[in-house]
Amino acid sequence: MNLEEYFSRIGFHGSCNNLDLATLKLLHKQHVLSIPFENLSVHCGERITMDLEVIFNKIVRSSRGGWCLENNFLFGWVLRQMGYDTEMLGSRVFNSATNGFNPSDTHLINKVVIDGKAYITDVSFGVSSQLWEPLELVSGKDQPQAAGAFRLIDKGDHWVLEKTGRKPKVVNLEFAKSSLVNQKLKKPIYSFTLVPREARHFLEVSHSLQTDPSSLFTNKSICSLQTPTGFRALVGWTYSEVTYKPEEGVDVLDMRDIPDDEIDQILREKFNIKLQNKLQPVNKTAYYTL
């Protein structure tokens, strides 16, 4: 594993010597624009691991994406190798079905301290909840980004990340009532504490997320990639291109279903992913929105 391969993978051409916020922002944005958030391994007979070398080979050398336990683990390693003051944290994703946060840390994020200020980095949540830049760890401050206004709220014993977005404008009317279309302008995303975590903290949940019949990731095949104007997503057989239109107060969703024999082509052309094993798309009933 080496940094140069990673930098080439995300198209980063900046200096490795400037351990400042500007460099961190550039790394963060290049990662989300280059590496998909995806769980396709679960649906093509592959096992997802917390072995960093396996993750590096998959994401950097095999032009794949990964879910948060892979992408953010890799990103934290990159930052530490560069010399950033970085710690891994665990977070609990908001579950709209129960209207509360999940009981265990199913999401991995990183905290970075620069010149005495703390920032939260998260390069792997996907779709419209994806950060393009780090968030300053300060309570109640709107931090506008392409997808909308993110804010962190200090609740005393934990922090909450929430977002205010825009109304969806669905181009294809047959998808106007699709369960994938998010109708909530304001929503919590996850909660977290500032307790540092090691990779072993996530071993059990990594296994559960890819094997539990009730897990979102066993019920849906998901691939999303941020673009300069929004993001692309393939959930089951439904392919979406989302364009952010902040000047109009809307996100434009262009959605269509893809036949089985075109799935591999979509993955190659829209996400730069070529799978070694055959994907079996899945889109069972489970709450998930773009």
pLDDT tens string 86-103: 999 999 999 988 999 999
State the catalytic residue, choosing from 28, 107, 223, 251. Answer: 107
Query: CA-CA distance, 216 to 220, in Å (whole number)?
Result: 6
Is 16's pLDDT higher than 90? no
Q: What is the pLDDT of residue 222?
A: 98
Is 62's pLDDT higher than 90? yes
State the catalytic residue, choosing from 31, 43, 122, 223. Answer: 122
Q: What is the pLDDT of residue 55?
A: 98
* Residue 201: active-site member: no
Q: Which two tokens stand for residue 91?
A: 């977070």
Is 128's pLDDT higher than 90? yes
Chain mean pLDDT for the chain: 97
* Residue 68: active-site member: yes
* Residue 13: active-site member: no
Average pLDDT over residues 179-207: 97
DSSP string covering the chain: --HHHHHHHHT--S-SS--SHHHHHHHHHHHHHHS-EE-GGGGTT------HHHHHIIIIIS---B-HHHHHHHHHHHHHHHT-EEEEEEEEEEETTTTEE-SS--EEEEEEEETTEEEEE-S---GGG--SS-EE--BT--EEETTEEEEEEE-SS-EEEEEE--EEEESSGGGTT-TTS---SEEEEEEE----B-GGGGHHHHHHHHH-TTSHHHHB-EEEEEETTEEEEEETTEEEEEEEETTTTEEEEEEEE--GGGHHHHHHHHH----SS-----B-S-----
Q: What is the pLDDT of residue 275?
A: 96
Q: What is the pLDDT of residue 6?
A: 98
Q: What angle (nearest 5°) sits at the alpha carbon of residue 147, between those of residues 90 and 128? A: 60
* CA neighbor of 42 nearest in space, from 280, 285, 250, 262: 280
State the catalytic residue, choosing from 68, 105, 223, 251. Answer: 68
Q: What is the pLDDT of residue 97?
A: 86
* CB proximity list for 26: less than 8 A, separation 6 or greater: 12, 14
Q: What is the pLDDT of residue 157?
A: 96
Q: What is the pLDDT of residue 267?
A: 98
* CB proximity list for 247: less than 8 A, separation 6 or greater: none
Query: CA-CA distance, 112 to 96, in Å (whole number)?
Result: 29
Q: What is the pLDDT of residue 219?
A: 98
pLDDT in tens, 216-265: 999 999 999 999 999 999 999 999 999 999 999 999 999 999 999 999 99
